[in-house]
Amino acid sequence: MEKLRNSDTLKIISYILIPFLMLAIILGAIYIEYNSYNKEDLARGDYYKTDSFVYNEYYPNIQRIFRICSSIDEGIREQGEYYNSFVDNYVLVQETPTRIYYSQTYRSYYNGFNYIIIDESGTIFTNIQTENYNAKIEEMKNSEYYWYKENSTITSNLEQINDKGLAYNYGLENLKDTKNSKFSIYTAFDKEQPVTLKYRVNVAIYNFIANVGNMPIFAMSYSILMLFIIAVYLIWAIGHKKNKEGIYLSNFDNFSYGIIFIVVSIVIATFMTIGRECLANIDIFTLVIALISYLICYIACAVIGITTIKRLKARSFIKTTLTYKTCKWIKKKVKETSNLILWNKEITTKLIIYYISFLVISLFLIVATATTMGFCVILLLIFWALVLYLMLNYAKQLNNIKQNLKSIYEGKQEIKIETTNLEKNLKEMAEYINSLSLGLTKAVEESLKSERMKTQLITNVSHDIKTPLTSIINYVDLLKKEEMPNEKVKEYLRILDNKSQRLKRLTEDLVEASKATSGNIKLNIENINLKELIKQISGEFEDKFNEKNLELILQIPKEAVQIKADSRYLYRVIENMYTNIMKYALEGSRVYVDILKNNEKVQIELKNISKAKLNIKAEELMQRFVRGDTSRNTEGSGLGLSIAESLTKLQGGNFSIHLDGDLFKVVIEFIIK
Amino acid sequence: MYNILVCDDDKEIVNAIAIYLSKEGYNILKAYNGKEALKLIENNEIHLIILDIMMPEMDGMEVANEVRKTKSIPILMLSAKSEDYDKVAGLNNGADDYVTKPFNPIELIARVNSQIRRYTRLGTIADKEDENKNIFKTGELIINDDIKQATVEGKEIKLTPTEYNILKFLTKNKGKVYSIEQIYENVWDDEPYGADNIIAVHIRHIREKIEINPKEPKYLKVIWGIGYKIEKID
């Protein structure tokens, strides 16, 4: 298959075969035409008696003679001389007993057509030279093809133009009219005489068709089939070459199609005309020229056909047409000009220019519609549709940018807006957004990385602190069990014990806080009953609250409150809050813990009265190492709220602090799922 | 007289542990890196190893692995590494318990005692009493309903009647998680009433009585936001 496709030989054979096949088809067509229109002619068995010969050759000659006759009449009237007829140049060859005018030029023109005209005075006009004209007339009357008029009688052995033929043959009025003229006219056709190839070809075709039978029809059918196969093969194979992948395109195939088309059209038109002209007056020389002309036409057709198929197959047809190139060029120029006008202008200015252009073009088209009887209304509608399309397209692009901006706003950092097809202004905008997003992504990555490194650092440092701390705690503990020399030492030891314990907690909280804020925690999200959790933690803290004389009031819905969270970390958050309350609530006050539930959200509200004055903002409280009492005297690391907030956010919740006088309120919010 | 090997590259920590455990009546052997520890294990009869993880020459993990090849001595790992995955890695490498630094001496002693008891007391009484339907047991926690007595590692635990009922119920259904409400319904004879967190308070009290470290309970586990359970230990 591949070999067949790439074979040059096969293609060349195909190209050579095509003209022969077409010739066969043309001959077949001629045959069919002949057979259907010239049945009577074929029945006559003699080409020179056929309608086509008589009407096309013989009868025009007779008409010419009529014209000569009328010229002779006028010549008498105006000049008194016969030899200066406008039709033929007659030469007076004999004065007496009768005047005889002979025309040489006419001779060669008629090709075997002989005539003798005798006017009322007996003067002879002829294209034959002979001694005895009477004998010649007799000979003509007995020749194979003759037509003559004596007095007002027409005699002919050609049935189309004899008296009988005239009776029913429409279009021979000329002949009828001249029946009564004063001239006697003798004509005869001598088929031995003609030298023109045309006659011989016609006779040959006539004889061929009359004798050949059905053969041309078969030949034509086979040729059509063959031509079809070759066409399919060529369409399939054109463009493929040995050792070449895909469609092979030469420079010519990339050359402007329009120009090729015009050149080829001119060539074909020229040579077709030449060929046709040559065939009209056929002889050996013109036949050769005609053949060459048609061959050139064929080559031109082949050339444009091959390149068209190649271009269509390579899908480069539209791109290489001159129209496309012109359109592209115009588009580029328009863009350049508009850029020149609109460059660096404000969007408003551009908009005004666009709007004015729109109005002007619309107005122009409306006026044009009025003057061209509504023809331009289509153009107007197309223009409006185009404007609408452009506007919608613009809106679509704008919307796309908006969507992307929104997703950046919603926290998705990796945004890349496709800018290739955007309008210039929007493109600029999209590029700004892209680089903004890129910067944002980088910044987030950097900060995440640095948070991770911080966590790592804190974890490592805490390991290193813990080892000596272990010794401190242990030996302080051991010391406590020893006999102390006095109360003072005991007091010092108590402080040491206290502070070493606090250092221990601080290192632990530090690691946890850094993990929570950097998100370096693996969550195990499951269904949790918030009601259960609050009860459990309340139970854990009951004794401690009692010690501080705090009354815990729970307001919890009767039904279960299910949320999705990590049970351990949610416990850490609430536990942190309880610990805070235990530490900072005013002794003897009431503590409220409410679970508020609506359709979408559940809120845990923890409210207590602060022991110390809260001269601090809620936001500041949540920062690391900030505590309600600025003196920092109480125990605790100052990381509790920060850890709680981070852990809540990691679990998808919301953590907020509200201060109102001494009322300290924490609201932890989760979405019910 | 039981022999305990303490191995840590920090000499003061080793000494402190030695002081605490000597008071409890144990004989202490000291090592300051993994290789020394292995040598001592080779040449002495050791009943418990306290092992630091981060040590020069040979770290605690490798030592534990090496010991486990031939011996079933209890290993208690002691490390400043306090992440969950550190603990899991330690326990997977052959440790029986894991204590983080800085540790509470009382807790350490309790854990050491617990491990020694388990290691040295072969063929526990529980084996033959298993068939008794009124004895419920998980690990070293045993509840004998005939005499209304609860013991952990052989020590009797003093519980109030409510605490006893709750513990009995959970131990009977060890491994299963019960919410506060379910415990109410099963333990209380009456309908659940008023004080929402009374069960939670009881549970905390039980935990404080039966656990070495109530914040990291071994038996009575709290599943926050879901309920409570007694761990199933074979």
What CATH number should be reported for the domain holding residue B134? 1.10.10.10
Question: Of A462, A467, A529, which to mutate for an interface test with B (greatest number of B Cβ within 10 Å)?
Answer: A467
Cα separation, A475 vs A457, whole angstroms: 28
**Radius of gyration from C-alpha coordinates of chain A:** 57
pLDDT of res. B122 = 56
B41 and B107 fall within a common domain:
yes
To the nearest whole Å, the CA of B220 is away from the closest chain A CA by 13
To the nearest whole Å, the CA of B132 is away from the closest chain A CA by 33
Instruction: Inform me whether the C-beta atom of residue A532 falls under 8 Å from chain B C-beta atoms.
Output: yes
Q: Residue A4 — pLDDT band, cuts 50, 70, 90?
A: confident
Instruction: Inform me whether the C-beta atom of residue A565 falls under 8 Å from chain B C-beta atoms.
Output: yes
| Chain B nearest-CA residue for A554 | B196
What residues have CB less than 8 Å from A284, skipping those under 6 apart? A197
To the nearest whole Å, the CA of B101 is away from the closest chain A CA by 6
Pick from B196, B198, B222: CB nearest A556: B196
pLDDT of res. A606 = 94
Residues of A in contact with B202 (CB under 8 A): 539
To the nearest whole Å, the CA of B119 is away from the closest chain A CA by 27
Residues of A in contact with B197 (CB under 8 A): 535-536, 538-539, 542, 554
Pick from A459, A536, A542: CB nearest B222: A536
| Chain B nearest-CA residue for A543 | B201
Pick from A471, A473, A528: CB nearest B10: A471
- Is A533 in contact with B197 (Cβ distance < 8 A)? no
Percent of chain A with pLDDT over 70: 89
Least confident window among A172-186, A648-662, B149-163, B205-219: A172-186
Please report the residues numbered 567 through 586 in chain A whose beta carbons come closer than 8 angstroms to any beta carbon of chain B. Answer: 567-568, 570-571
- Is A539 in contact with B225 (Cβ distance < 8 A)? no
B57 and B88 fall within a common domain:
yes
What CATH number should be reported for the domain holding residue B102? 3.40.50.2300
Residues of A in contact with B182 (CB under 8 A): none
Least confident window among A381-395, A636-650, B121-135, B188-202: B121-135
Classify strands B149-152 and B155-157 as parallel, antiparallel or unpaired.
antiparallel
| Residue keyed to tokens 């009407």 | A55
Q: Is the pLDDT of residue A632 over 50?
A: no
- Return the structure tokens found at A89: 């140049």
Domain boundary among B93, B120, B147: B120
What residues have CB less than 8 Å from A490, skipping those under 6 apart? A484
Closest CA to B24 of B114, B104, B109, B105: B109
To the nearest whole Å, the CA of B13 is away from the closest chain A CA by 5
Question: What's the mean pLDDT when you consider all of chain A?
Answer: 81
Instruction: Inform me whether the C-beta atom of residue A224 falls under 8 Å from chain B C-beta atoms.
Output: no
Question: Of A474, A482, A556, A564, which to mutate for an interface test with B (greatest number of B Cβ within 10 Å)?
Answer: A474
pLDDT in tens, B40-50: 998 988 999 99
Task: Give the Cβ contact number of residue A646 at 10 Å.
Answer: 25
Cα separation, B213 vs A421, whole angstroms: 67
Helix H or strand E segment including A162: none
Question: Of A462, A470, A527, A562, which to mutate for an interface test with B (greatest number of B Cβ within 10 Å)?
Answer: A470
B69 and B144 fall within a common domain:
no
Question: Of A463, A471, A530, which to mutate for an interface test with B (greatest number of B Cβ within 10 Å)?
Answer: A471
- Is B198 in contact with A467 (Cβ distance < 8 A)? no
Cα separation, B103 vs B50, whole angstroms: 13
The ipTM, to two decimals, is: 0.76
B52 and B142 fall within a common domain:
no
pLDDT of res. A636 = 63
- Is B13 in contact with A571 (Cβ distance < 8 A)? no
What residues have CB less than 8 Å from A102, skipping those under 6 apart? A90, A91, A93, A126, A127, A129
Cα→Cα distances A108→A88, A146, A195, A333, A391, Å: 11, 19, 9, 65, 79
Q: Residue A448 — pLDDT band, cuts 50, 70, 90?
A: confident
Query: In which domain, by residue range, is B55 found?
Result: 3-120
- Asked if residue B105 has a cis previous peptide bond (ω within 30° of 0), the answer is no
Question: Of A476, A508, A521, A540, which to mutate for an interface test with B (greatest number of B Cβ within 10 Å)?
Answer: A540
Least confident window among A14-18, A69-73, A272-276, A404-408: A69-73
Average pLDDT over residues A1-6: 77
What residues have CB less than 8 Å from A479, skipping those under 6 apart? A493
Most confident of A413-417, A501-505, A663-667: A663-667
To the nearest whole Å, the CA of A469 is away from the closest chain B CA by 6
| Chain B nearest-CA residue for A481 | B20
Residues of B in contact with A478 (CB under 8 A): 16, 19-20
Q: Is the pLDDT of residue A6 over 70?
A: yes
Q: Is the pLDDT of residue A537 over 50?
A: yes
- Is B179 in contact with A570 (Cβ distance < 8 A)? no
B100 and B195 fall within a common domain:
no
Angle at A348 between CA A347 and CA A352, to 5 degrees: 115
Q: Is the pLDDT of residue B190 over 90?
A: no
pLDDT of res. A80 = 45
B109 and B187 fall within a common domain:
no
**Chain B interface, Cβ < 8 Å to A:** 10, 12-13, 16-17, 19-20, 54, 80-83, 100-103, 105, 179-180, 196-204, 222-228
Burial of B209 from C-beta contacts in 10 A (0-12 / 13-18 / 19+): middle
Average pLDDT over residues A258-269: 88
Q: Are B180 and A532 in contact (CB under 8 A)?
A: yes
Q: Are A574 and A533 in contact (CB under 8 A)?
A: yes
Q: Residue B31 — pLDDT band, cuts 50, 70, 90?
A: very high
Which residues, listed in sequence order, are joined to residue B227 by a DSSP beta bridge? B223
Q: Which SS3 state, helix, strand or coil, does residue B175 take?
A: coil
Cα→Cα distances A612→A71, A154, A629, B85, Å: 144, 149, 7, 40
pLDDT of res. A22 = 87
pLDDT in tens, A63-78: 778 777 777 776 654 4
B68 and B177 fall within a common domain:
no
B7 and B108 fall within a common domain:
yes
Task: Give the Cβ contact number of residue A111 at 10 Å.
Answer: 16
Q: Is the pLDDT of residue B28 over 90?
A: yes
Per residue, what are the HEC states of B32-50?
CCHHHHHHHHHHCCCCEEE
Least confident window among A300-304, B121-125, B157-161: B121-125
Q: Is the pLDDT of residue A286 over 50?
A: yes
Pick from B16, B105, B225: CB nearest A530: B225
Instruction: For A447-461, give the DSSP string.
Output: HHHHHHHHHHHHHHH
Average pLDDT over residues A274-285: 79
- Is B226 in contact with A528 (Cβ distance < 8 A)? yes
Q: Are B157 and B209 in contact (CB under 8 A)?
A: yes
Domain boundary among B56, B88, B120: B120
3-class SS shares of chain B: helix, strand, coil, % to 5:
40, 20, 40
B40 and B83 fall within a common domain:
yes
pLDDT of res. A484 = 84
pLDDT of res. B123 = 47
Pick from B82, B83, B224: CB nearest A568: B224
Q: Residue A79 — pLDDT band, cuts 50, 70, 90?
A: very low
To the nearest whole Å, the CA of A401 is away from the closest chain B CA by 44
Q: Are B28 and B22 in contact (CB under 8 A)?
A: yes
Average pLDDT over residues B25-46: 91
pLDDT of res. B15 = 92
pLDDT of res. B4 = 93
pLDDT in tens, A400-435: 888 888 888 887 767 777 777 777 778 888 888 888
Residues of B in contact with A570 (CB under 8 A): 224-225
Q: Is the pLDDT of residue A207 over 90?
A: no
pLDDT in tens, A317-370: 777 777 777 888 888 888 877 777 666 667 788 788 888 988 998 888 888 877
Cα separation, A574 vs A648, whole angstroms: 10
To the nearest whole Å, the CA of B37 is away from the closest chain A CA by 20
B107 and B180 fall within a common domain:
no
To the nearest whole Å, the CA of A506 is away from the closest chain B CA by 12
Average pLDDT over residues A214-240: 86
B204 and B110 fall within a common domain:
no
Average pLDDT over residues A604-615: 87
B62 and B114 fall within a common domain:
yes
Measure the CA dihedral A196/A201/A204/A207, to 10°. -100
Percent of chain A with pLDDT over 90: 9
Side-chain-side CA neighbours of residue A118 (13 Å): 14
Residues of A in contact with B226 (CB under 8 A): 528-529, 532, 567
Q: Is the pLDDT of residue A225 over 90?
A: yes
Question: Of B79, B197, B206, B211, which to mutate for an interface test with A (greatest number of A Cβ within 10 Å)?
Answer: B197
Give the single-character DSSP code of B103: P
Q: Residue A559 — pLDDT band, cuts 50, 70, 90?
A: confident
| Chain A nearest-CA residue for B178 | A532
In one-letter notation, the amino acid at residue A206 is Y
- Is A471 in contact with B197 (Cβ distance < 8 A)? no
Provide the number of structural domains found in chain B.
2
Burial of A231 from C-beta contacts in 10 A (0-12 / 13-18 / 19+): middle
Q: Is the pLDDT of residue A126 over 80?
A: yes
